[in-house]
Amino acid sequence: MARPSEYDEELAERKAIYKLYAQAIPGSFAIEKLDQAPCSMACPAHLNVQGYVAMVKMGKYREAIEIIMKDLPFPGVLGRVCPHRCEKSCRRLETDEAISIRELKRVAADHVDLSEIPVPDIAPRNENVAIIGSGPAGLTAAYFLALDGYKVIVYEAMPETGGMMRYGIPEHRLPRTAVLDAEIENLKRYGVEIHTNTAIGKDITIEELREHGAKAVFMSIGAWKSLKLRIPGEEDAQAGISDVISFLREVHLGKIEQVDGKVVVIGGGHSALDGARVALRLGASEVHIIYRRSRTEMLAEPEEIEEAEKEGVNIHFLVAPLKISNENGKVTGIECIRTRLSEVDTTGRRKPIPIENSNFFIEAEHIIPAIGQEPDFGAFGESHGLEVSKWNLLKVNPETLQTNVPDIFAGGDVVTGPATVIEAVEAGKRAARYIAEYLQGKELPTEWQEEPPMGTNWTAPPEDEPIKERMKIQTLAKEKRLSGFEEVNLCVDEDTAKAEAARCLDCGGCCECFQCVTACKAEAVTLETHASQAETLSVNVGSVILAPGFQPFDPSRFDNYNYTNHPNVLTSVEFERLLSATGPTMGHLTRVSDKKEPKKVAWFQCVGSRDMNRCDNAYCSSVCCMYAVKEAVIAKSHSENDLDCAIFYMDMRTPGKDFEKYRNDAEDKHGVRFIRSRVHTINPVPDTDDLEVGYVTDSGEKKSEVFEMIVLSVGMEISPEITELAGRLGIEVTDGRFCKTEDFNPVATQKQGVFVCGAFQGPKDIPDSVVEASAAACSAGISLASARGTLVREKTFPDENDVTDEEPRIGVFVCNCGVNIGGIADVPAIAKYAKQLPDVAYVEENLFTCSQDTQDKMVEVIREHNLNRVVVAACTPRTHEPLFQETLRNGKLNSYLFEMANIRNQCTWCHSEDKEKATEKSKDLVRMAVARASLLEPIPDLSAEVNNSALVIGGGAAGMTAALSLAEQGFPVTIVEKSPELGGTARDVMKTWRGKDVQAFLSDLIGKIENHSDIEVMLSAEVVDATGFVGNFESTVVSEKESKTIKHGAVIIATGGQATVPDEYLFGKNPRVTRWHELEHHPEKLKDAESVVFIQCVGSRDENRPYCSKICCTTSVLQAISIKEQNPDTNVFILYRDIRTFGEREMLYKEARQKGVIFIRYALDRKPTVVEAGDKLEVGVFDPILQRDLLIEADIVNLASAIEPAPNEKLAALYKLSVNAENFFMEAHAKLRPVEFASDGIFLCGLAHYPKPLEESIAQAQAAASRAVTILSKTSIEISPLVSQVDQEKCIGCGLCAEVCSFSAIILEDFEGKGYRAKNIPASCKGCGLCAASCPQQAIDMLHFRDEQIAASVCAAA
């Protein structure tokens, strides 16, 4: 069942059972089930139509029949005679015509021999059930009761089984031997016993059935007594009148073989048509049908009426019989009258009203009334005791079909009057269910149980679904028909049937064919798990963290981008999938329309961001500029041609760490074109798949350019579902629908105990999201500190056996991984090969080596066979090594006596087209693993005690926040601050961008720090020496007062940064030139000022500092607004390069413009000039829009100078930390480990990492504290024992190892009498082995990756 893949942005398909993407965690599959398809709901027996149609589509006929037989035992019969209500509700009708469902069922039935379908194991039950009547209701009940284990005996009054299926439906519609007989015969395989020629009441009584052991009886005796016409002459004729049921029965029994003369059939149902067509086949010279109503009211289906007319049946509509004439008792004809129809009456039908004087006469030798039947209780006599309605039908409970006699149930025509086979089948199935419940002593419902209303959550039909005609059914040539009873409708060929089945819209998602259950050898997908439903759980928690994310803006709301109607206009998220190796094109950049590689691609920025006109998103989405640059660079690298990439933008906003350099490289090294313009039109170029882009340049010049692909850089927005969730939780949101947070507590919502992180907090990229995630964990952790560790359960293992002196005895387990390995490589051959390898004592094959039962068995095998090494040839150690290592521990072996041969991920999956080579490679990999395994040695676990206090270096806002976050969780902290007071650069800042008072916050924070018993503050102090490793650092701190050595488990670096002192624009030379917050501290300078000019990027984004200082735009805009608020007449100018008011700061930019602040852009190669002009200043700048130089008289020029880090070199050397080219500290991973250093136990926050606004510093400080807690909260930490080992006898003390080690994990130490020798520090060692590879004396070896172990692998490989 194919469904559009959400992960691939619907550019590719997935199955209804699917994993979201290959690396998804958890790595299990989900099944997408929607509401049941309307066809199934319309079917009286609720057949799984979508399921068997899907099977026919794949040519899996047997599977189709197995699906059908879950609901009824007569696929071939119903494939022919069902009135197919399902087709009337088919959603295909909205597009063209319904699927020909009934015919597809017939196709499946005609291709399957039922006797080949295995009977399931049935657990027999003791009770017997008697079924009276072998029509569709009786036999269906028999089938389901037999499946349920009951002993079923069917009693049939007629000489043959099948009831009306045999005696009422003529053979040209339902072949006897091939279909009906076969399907009834098949029931015997399920244990159904049938006695024909046994009439109840005559041959055996119900009481006798009970005496013979029947604990329940099902009455399904049908309706066999024809209703009378009640017109004159009906009773007078002795010959020539026969009701249709008797007529068809006599024909079937061979008592009527020929019909001479003319025939008139009266009625409009299936029987009337059947009678007419049979009469024709038996030689009637003319056959008429008269029917009181019109063609549309006729119960028989239109196709059937058409076929009858084709054969020569003369149908008279709107004609009613008046009188039958006879001559000497022999029919001569019938007098009729024409009718008209009344309006719809209260019963919903149109009544026929005779038209006066329209009488006419039809000559006929035979009259066949076909106007309905009722049950015939004749044989039962008066004493059956069952309640009968006024229509002479049995009265039953409509839900359970139980009669007034508790052990007698009834269903089919005897209850409903003449109806269809499928309705009888439904009754049989229903009766079987309730008879079983009755026999099991369950309480039966007394009333009709309403079914839940039909859900309409179905798959959306594809918008571009083409019209596909419904298949045509071939019929037998007319000449061939009348000579006998050959089946009229022919079976369509397989291709036609498959094409017809493929028209299905798969309304219900998963079609419940359960092929996945059959396919899953691990028995993970079972009928039970397949049926599992969403559950509602109640969880008792102390904090809640909201991380609900965002949705990409949907540009189909805009018509001007041609997104919905042009295949080559994609969103950036879709484009991302095209670039991905796991995406729909495996990373090959091709166009959607023609699969050709494009030569020119354009990106349009700010689609759905910074836009109040066409969408509600006034904010900047913060991430789009950077991802567009990245996509352009990657697209170029994926392209074999010289791909031309152009980015159309308003402001290029790349304020993140190292982003500006990336943007510059994109332009300078990769040749990405940056075009500052908002595109106004995109028009498809006729006769091509290209698009023409119209835009206006800065200087007002109109331009146009043709591109082969357009990427819309869509913004982030909060989905209505998340807004609704926020409402439910009582959480306030901003104008941009993001969660409202406070600047000084950036991850706390307005509701206590509920925290937020990620894009819901505000639009942001991955590193900031990861930072906030840790910050939220920290905030949640503070309130939960007392409960820490209370829900932890520890694993215990048996003692290890000492195997050091034993000869290797290796056990090899070769995994089939279902068919992942076994379906490609020859696993038995690999196992056989492994058996003869040296030291191998035991080999086995597993279907799934990782399954729990195999783990249990492995423990047994290790013990039984005295194994002391284990090799598993299966998947990758990166995912499964820990699992098997644990099994070894349970088997009393050290975890490191284990090795894996990766014969799946790196073999069968990659060589699936060459099974032989995959087998050969697998053998080699097993040989290499065995060779290595024989040299493996037990390695004891390593752990170190943890000192649970922390050292925070830097007493600014970040350092203090980190310290307080730790102390509030009970961990002692020492703050080392180089200056004589706490506060750092935040002391200069008056307000946050939201207008919050920074100084009040700062004094509150300092107060808390100074009064906290777990925090020691050392002022005018610095770290002068540091040793140790994670959990056990020793740092020497010297202050004015003292020098002391502090032991601590973790370090947080928060050394901050500051604004640079500019050496341009007359700064320091003229008092009217100020920088940053000076104006806020000296408001008197602004008094009487008529004109204030802000200059941005002073010392940022240039050659010396190729980075953006991130906070300057917002700060200047904020100050400009404040000046305008105080005096609207002051002229305020901001000279900028790009305005980078990211996120919701964009609103400030808008406000500034509304207040009349004038923004003038300048280019780096045309910087503004500032000169003294009399008492004032004169600022010169080139305005790119006016295309001319401007001179601005200014009272004040305020400079937004670059932010630079504090001098970090000394600390970097002490703790072996890396810094980038601009001296900012380097985190372990820019995206995923943004507050950790590569060395364990050392963390980073604040301006030392990169310029950032206060709220980001606070979040980062909380994040650093959170990460530190993961260490400090332990009493000891496990250290990977795969570390270096120094042979001090061989070591010559050259120190090369210490030099190359990035982690201070190997040092030189003076050993008495030996001189300097290398010494490893296991707790710091990452096991990389650089030292071992560098050692000229081969004095260093790596545990578990020893020279000889690697050499053994290499030798075995060759």
Partner 1 sequence: MENFEPKIVAFLCNWCAYAGADLAGVSRLQYPSNMRTVRVMCSGRVDPLFIIKAFKQGCDGVLVSG
Residues of this chain that bind partner 1 (CB under 8 A): 22-23, 581-582, 586, 876-878, 902, 904-907, 909-914, 917-918, 920-921, 924-925, 928, 1282, 1300, 1326-1330, 1332-1333, 1342, 1345, 1347, 1350-1351, 1353-1355, 1357-1358
Contacts of 110 (CB under 8 A, 6+ apart): 76, 79, 491
* Cβ nearer to partner 1, comparing 1179 with 1321: 1321
Q: Which residues pair with 1028 in a beta bridge?
A: 1033
State the Cα angle at 403 between 398 and 404, rounded to 5°. Answer: 120
Please state the closest distance from residue 1342 (CB atom) to partner 1, in A. Answer: 6
Nearest one of 284, 356, 364, 286 to 320, comparing CA atoms: 356
Residues 729 and 745: their CA atoms lie apart, in Å, by: 19
Residues 504 and 75: their CA atoms lie apart, in Å, by: 20
Please state the closest distance from residue 1345 (CB atom) to partner 1, in A. Answer: 6
Please state the closest distance from residue 920 (CB atom) to partner 1, in A. Answer: 7
Q: Is 145 helix (H, G, I), strand (E, B) or coil?
A: helix
Residues 526 and 901: their CA atoms lie apart, in Å, by: 30
Cis bond before residue 354 (omega within 30° of 0): no
Pairing of strands 716-717, 544-546: unpaired
Residues 1100 and 1140: their CA atoms lie apart, in Å, by: 13
* Cβ nearer to partner 1, comparing 925 with 1030: 925
Please state the closest distance from residue 550 (CB atom) to partner 1, in A. Answer: 27
Residue type, 283: G
* Cβ nearer to partner 1, comparing 1116 with 1320: 1320
Q: Is 867 helix (H, G, I), strand (E, B) or coil?
A: coil
* Cβ nearer to partner 1, comparing 49 with 925: 925
Ranges assigned E (strand) in 763-885: 810-815, 840-846, 869-874
* Cβ nearer to partner 1, comparing 753 with 877: 877
Alpha helices in 691-838 (DSSP H): 720-729, 766-784, 827-835
Please state the closest distance from residue 21 (CB atom) to partner 1, in A. Answer: 10
* Cβ nearer to partner 1, comparing 739 with 1330: 1330
Sign of the dihedral through C-alpha 60, 66, 71, 75: positive
* Cβ nearer to partner 1, comparing 532 with 637: 637
Residues 1346 and 1329: their CA atoms lie apart, in Å, by: 9
Please state the closest distance from residue 14 (CB atom) to partner 1, in A. Answer: 14
Q: Which long-range contacts (CB under 8 A, 24 or more apart) does 1345-1351 make?
A: 1345/1282, 1346/935, 1348/935, 1349/932, 1349/935, 1349/936, 1350/932
* Cβ nearer to partner 1, comparing 24 with 1213: 24
* Cβ nearer to partner 1, comparing 881 with 1014: 881
Residues 718 and 733: their CA atoms lie apart, in Å, by: 10
* Cβ nearer to partner 1, comparing 266 with 936: 936
Neighbours of 284 (CB within 10 A): 23
- Tell me how far the alpha carbon of residue 1116 is from its chain's centroid: 45
Please state the closest distance from residue 881 (CB atom) to partner 1, in A. Answer: 10
Please state the closest distance from residue 419 (CB atom) to partner 1, in A. Answer: 54
Contacts of 1071 (CB under 8 A, 6+ apart): none
CB 840 within 8 A of CB 930: yes
* Cβ nearer to partner 1, comparing 139 with 1301: 1301
Please state the closest distance from residue 1056 (CB atom) to partner 1, in A. Answer: 32
The radius of gyration of the chain from alpha carbons, rounded to an integer in Å, stands at 43
Please state the closest distance from residue 928 (CB atom) to partner 1, in A. Answer: 7
Please state the closest distance from residue 704 (CB atom) to partner 1, in A. Answer: 40
* Cβ nearer to partner 1, comparing 950 with 1352: 1352
Residue type, 984: G
Alpha helices in 1191-1253 (DSSP H): 1209-1215
Give the 3-state DSSP-derived string for 997-1057, with helices as H, strands as E and coil as C. Answer: EHHHHHHHHHHHHHHCCCEEEECCCEEEEEEEECCEEEEEEECCCCEEEEEECEEEECCCE
Q: Is 1320 helix (H, G, I), strand (E, B) or coil?
A: strand
Please state the closest distance from residue 1037 (CB atom) to partner 1, in A. Answer: 34
Please state the closest distance from residue 1267 (CB atom) to partner 1, in A. Answer: 20
Tokens coding 969: 């969780």
State the Cα angle at 359 between 242 and 325, rounded to 5°. Answer: 35
* Cβ nearer to partner 1, comparing 432 with 1330: 1330
Residue type, 532: S
Helices (H) and strands (E) in the chain, counts: 38, 59
Please state the closest distance from residue 822 (CB atom) to partner 1, in A. Answer: 16
- The DSSP secondary structure of 1076-1142, one letter per residue, reads TTHHHH-GGGGTT--EEEEEEEESSSSSSS-S--SSHHHHHHHHHHHHHHH-TTSEEEEEESS----
* Cβ nearer to partner 1, comparing 206 with 850: 850
CB 1049 within 8 A of CB 1241: yes
Residue type, 528: E
Q: What is the dihedral of CA 246, 252, 256, 258, to 10 degrees?
A: 120
* Cβ nearer to partner 1, comparing 430 with 911: 911
Please state the closest distance from residue 20 (CB atom) to partner 1, in A. Answer: 13
Please state the closest distance from residue 583 (CB atom) to partner 1, in A. Answer: 10
* Cβ nearer to partner 1, comparing 913 with 1042: 913
Please state the closest distance from residue 845 (CB atom) to partner 1, in A. Answer: 21
* Cβ nearer to partner 1, comparing 739 with 1283: 1283
Please state the closest distance from residue 549 (CB atom) to partner 1, in A. Answer: 24
* Cβ nearer to partner 1, comparing 756 with 926: 926
Q: Which residues pair with 287 in a beta bridge?
A: 263
